[in-house]
Amino acid sequence: MAESQGKKFSFCRLIGLAGAMFLIVGAIAVGAGAGMFINLPSLAITLGVTFFMLLAAFGKDFLRFIPDGLATLICTPQEPNPRFAEIAGHGARYVIGAGVIGTMIGMIQMLSNLSDPSGLGVGMATCLLTIFYAIITSELLFAYLHKSYSQGNKIETTKPLPARNIAIPGIVTSILMIAFLIMLFSLQ
């Protein structure tokens, strides 16, 4: 299959993606503000591990996927691209794994400094950012691209991405919250 396929600009894709991002950013801005949602080390671990895992797994195909994927966010591919669909599907899984790894690293760092209980809330919030980044990237980028490359410009059904893309971070987050609550009650 040709590396650069024809694409057709889609106003609906642009509005849909922009609307989803607007709602997420709006919810953050209405709350406590965007500052607490920006943590460069958390972002680096989540996106960096995902990038290098995809590079290791797919090599040059992944490097070709990057610019094509960015264009596909607002343009509809005319033909399906099974290789790029495979890369996007793996990316959705890898980013969730990277988010869980980042959360575990953050938890270990937070728990290693229990001498200052006042930092537990901020530490826990920072730990959860990697899961937040992972879910946003998995669902608004990789799952979206997976569907686009699976279908192209055709209307047909495709298999959904595995439920574990959301289940694993949900379970990890629940366990972390329970552990955090136990820690808080034991410090009183």
Render pLDDT for 126-177 as a digit per residue (tens, 0 to 9): 888 999 999 999 988 999 899 989 875 555 555 555 666 667 777 777 777 7
Cβ atoms 157, 147 nearer than 8 A: no
Cβ atoms 95, 138 nearer than 8 A: yes
**pTM of the predicted model as reported, rounded to 2 decimal places:** 0.76
pLDDT digits (tens, 9 = 90+) for 77-93: 888 899 999 999 999 99
d(CA 43, CA 54) in angstroms, rounded, equals: 16
Which H/E stretch holds residue 77?
strand 75-77
Distances (CA, A) of 79 to 6, 15, 31, 43, 152: 8, 22, 42, 33, 4
Mean pLDDT, the chain, integer: 82
Place of tokens 């997976």: 146
Angle, helices 40-58/120-137, rounded to nearest 10 degrees: 40
CA–CA–CA angle 157, 136, 109 (5° rounding): 140
Cβ atoms 81, 11 nearer than 8 A: no
Q: What is the pLDDT of residue 117?
A: 73
